[in-house]
Structure 1
Amino acid sequence: MPAPKSERSLAASIAAHESWAATPDRAKRTAPARAALDAKFLAEADGDPVRAEHLRKAHYQRLALKSAQARRRAKGLLAEADQADAELTAAVGGRR
């Protein structure tokens, strides 16, 4: 039977940390990925480096927006959970 997803995820995380710990030049290791992303933006901009830079900035701002939205949703869900917990505690007379 395969390992549960949480165990596979943990094993993968351990392997990733060990791999990065054994990497002497992290910038060199990630250079091909950065170059590919730059090439993608340049291709989308039809070879215009100024437009490519704006596309790159828009991409990262879009990621920042999604991150802020996710944090706001998580904060709201946490507040709802805290409220539900308080109501439950009050309903059972503080015994939990």
Structure 2
Amino acid sequence: MAAADPTVRSMAASVAASTRWAHEQDRTKTAKAGQRGMRARFAREIDPDGVLAPADLAKRVDAAVRAHMTRIAMKSRAARAARRLAAA
């Protein structure tokens, strides 16, 4: 059942994530695997043909990760500002 309300969807996702992490035996290992997966995805997007030198690819992936995290931070900041405005 998909909830149409974004707040309900967000809450359901939070419950699911918290439940998953509550059952994880080795949180660090799992988190590192996720980080490796994210970096691999960026590497495939940046160099789909595998022609870049490993050092160059690593620098580009680092930049892509920074851009991704900055986008997330910007969205978070905008959401907090919107909530403050709605509460005022």
TM over 0.5: yes
User: Once the two structures are superposed, what CA deviation does each residue of 1:5-45 show, in whole Å capped at 9, x if it has no partner?
Assistant: 77xx4xx83x7656534433201123332211010111222
Letter in 2 for 1:69: A
CA distance in 2, matches of 1:52, 1:18: 31
Normalising to structure 1: TM-score of the pair? 0.58
CA distance in 1, matches of 2:17, 2:68: 26
CA RMSD of aligned residues (A): 2.6
Q: 1:52 maps to what in 2?
A: 61
Query: Size of the alignment, in residue pairs?
Result: 71
Normalising to structure 2: TM-score of the pair? 0.63
Q: 1:67 maps to what in 2?
A: 76
* Identity within the alignment, %: 30
Q: Secondary structure at the match of 1:74?
A: helix
Q: Which runs of 4+ in 1 moved over 4 A?
A: 15-19
Larger radius of gyration: 1
Higher relative contact order (CA 8 A, sep 6+): 2
Alignment of 1:12-91 (within 5 A): 13=15, 17=18, 20-46=21-47, 47=52, 48-79=57-88
